[in-house]
Amino acid sequence: MKPTTTTNRTATSQTAMFGAGCFWCTEAVFQRTPGVTKTTPGYAGGHVKNPTYRDVCTGDTGHAEVTRVEFDPALVTYEQLLKVFWEVHDPTSLNQQGADVGTQYRSAIFYFTPEQKGAAEAAKAALDKSGTYKRPIVTEIVQAGEFYPAEDYHQNYYNDNKNAPYCRMVIQPKLKKLGVGD
C-alpha cells in the first residue's frame, strides 16, 4: 500500500486528530490506511502558540504530538480510524509509549464534531469493557482546538527515513503488526 503524500480533498473530506505517542509512528500508519487522503504531524492540546518541537519536548507547553488525518468518509469511517488508533499504541500507558516519555506522548483523541465525540467515547467504553487490557484506558477525549503543523523535517518522516534506527526499531514493527508494512 502506498503512503499518502498529496492532498486529494473532496467536498466530503473530513478531519480527525489523534495523539498516540510519537507522531512519526502515527503518521506512517495512517498514511497506509485506505481512505486517508492526507496526514499532517503537529502539536495540539496545549496553551503555547506556535510551539516548536524543542518547546513541546520540555513538557511545559501542554501540547501533545498528534497526527491530523484528512479522510474520505465514503472510503473509511471515523469508527474504522478509531480502530486503527487503538491498535497503533497502548492506550493504558499514561504519558508514555515505549521509550518515549512525557505528556507530549499522551494518548488523546481530539474530536471535531459531536458525532466524533460520541463515537470516540463509545469506542473507549466498549474497549475498556471488553477486557482487552488489564489496566484502564487513559486516553483523553477532548475537543480539537488550535493545531500547529510540526516542522518540515517531521513531515513524512518515516517514508523519507526508513533506514533510520528509530524507524527500523519502532515504526516498522508497528506497521508489520498492523499488516501494512512495506
Residue with cell 502539536: 43
Listed in sequence order, the DSSP H helices in the chain are 23-31, 53-57, 78-88, 114-130, 157-160, 165-166, 172-177
- 4 domain-assigned: no
Is residue 2, in this structure, part of any structural domain at all?
Answer: no
CATH number for the domain that contains residue 172: 3.30.1060.10
How far apart, in whole angstroms, are the C-alpha atoms of residue 78 and residue 17? 11
Residue 107 placed within a domain: yes
Q: What is the pLDDT of residues 103-115, one digit of tens each?
A: 999 999 999 999 9
Cβ(4)–Cβ(36) below 8 Å: yes
> Looking at the domain assignment, is residue 5 inside a domain?
no
Residue 179, pLDDT > 90, answer: no
Q: Is residue 72 part of a domain?
A: yes
Judge whether 22 and 43 are in contact, CB under 8 Å: no
Structural domain contains residue 61: yes
pTM over 0.95: no
Q: Is residue 68 part of a domain?
A: yes
Average pLDDT score over the chain: 92
Residue among 166, 148, 159 at smallest CA distance from 100 = 166
With H, G, I as helix, E, B as strand and everything else as coil, classify residue 39: strand
Residue 146: CB atoms within 10 A of its CB come to 14
pLDDT of 40-81, one tens digit each? Answer: 999 999 999 999 999 999 999 999 999 999 999 999 999 999
Residue 12's pLDDT is what?
Answer: 85
Q: State yes or no: pLDDT of 141 exceeds 50.
A: yes
pLDDT value, residue 5: 40
Side chain identity at residue 150, one-letter code: A
Domain count, the chain: 1
Residues belonging to the chain: 182
Strands (E), 90-163: 96-97, 100-101, 107-111, 140-143, 147-149
Residue 84: domain span: 14-177
Q: How many whole angstroms separate alpha carbon 23 and alpha carbon 76?
A: 21
The yes-or-no answer on residue 22 being catalytic is: yes
Q: Which of 22, 25, 57, 167 is catalytic?
A: 22
